[in-house]
Amino acid sequence: MNMLYIPDQNIHIESFTPSLFDALREVTIDLSVKPFDYWCSHFVSILQGLHYHVNLQNSPRTLSNYPHWSLQDLRGRNSNHYMQSIEPYLRNWGFQYFLINFLNSAIGSTVSAAIREGIANINNFKNAERLKYFRFESAGTDSLLSRISYLVDQEKTRSIITDRKHVAFNSDLALGFSMHFDGTGDKIFAFGEVEGNYGHQLLTEKFWDEKHPDLDFGIGVVKAKQPKKKKGAVLGILIPPKVTLNYFKHWSGYKAVLLIEREHNIVQDYHDAIQMLVDIYYRGPDFRVLNNYSTELSQISYILKAGYDTPIIELLKQFSYYSDFDNFIDPETYNTNHIIRTDA
């Protein structure tokens, strides 16, 4: 049976039936319309990755004026190839920040619902309908945004909260379930991993053997599978990129694994946002808006150009203000009464 962290013991959990998980499920999401607030969430996530991640090479945290640093400050301190060198980290670590914002938003509701479904299935929740409120949070120790003390009930687990071997300290994301909108009462927390570059590893024994046994889910980016073109033949219709919910059997218990194909808009839009920020980082106010940019992306480029020497914390507030997503993680205003949102 999988281990979930349960501060209150009034929710009954039984072992799962493996035969239920023989097939994967495709998850649908409509991204035909990408409003301004949708793109704002991408740039909030990237800037959060730069600003809050602890293990980033030559992190802005080493700047003398941190946390009031700007893109101009970062550009002046580092080599000409700095942003290219950290781009793989932004695609992986930064993707964690994006997922948290995305999964807590209305536009990502079908994807977050699939993850919640997978976690509920592998643990066979009883009275699961009572747990209709949820919230994704940053976990682990590699981000200043991690709020382990909120995820772990200190009153009931004083011996656990100080144990660095607890799953809360050895995971990327936490998903909290609650019966009440304000997060009070019965709560359950599930913990998971994110692999933004090599998502196929989430379906291997080796990956989970090296992870904490109490992890319940994983989210990964994988390359889309397309039919191979035979010599002299014309390639047929390409298969649209997919998002799928999978179940992987491991000795520590089943894992709910959400795989997003790299060619899917969820991933491509995030990568496009990174590329725009990289270009603006190097060119500053001289950055030229490309004709193929949408109106919304053009507007964001103007904000970044005008704010090239503006403290990042101010840009974060500005992008958060422009977005109608009400769930960005902000350590300045973090409140335990708002850690759960409803699945409306």
For the chain (344 residues), the mean pLDDT of every run of 10, in chain order, is: 43 39 76 89 92 87 94 92 89 89 88 91 71 84 76 54 74 84 70 93 96 94 73 62 93 94 94 93 84 84 93 91 55 39 32
What is the pLDDT at residue 133? 80
pTM of the model: 0.83
pLDDT at 122: 87
Contact yes or no for 252/273 (Cβ under 8 A): no
Looking at residue 127, its pLDDT comes to 58
Residue 268 class from Cβ within 10 Å (0-12 exposed, 13-18 middle, 19+ buried)? Answer: middle
CB atoms within 10 A of CB 15: 11
**pLDDT for 199:** 94
Exposure of 270 by Cβ count < 10 A (0-12 exposed, 13-18 middle, 19+ buried)?
buried
Task: Look up tokens 């994704």; give the residue.
Answer: 136
| Residue 80, both tokens | 């000409």
Q: How far apart are the first and last CA of the chain?
A: 30
**What angle separates helix 265-283 from helix 295-306, to the nearest 10 degrees?**
30
Measured distance CA(214)–CA(163) in Å, rounded? 14
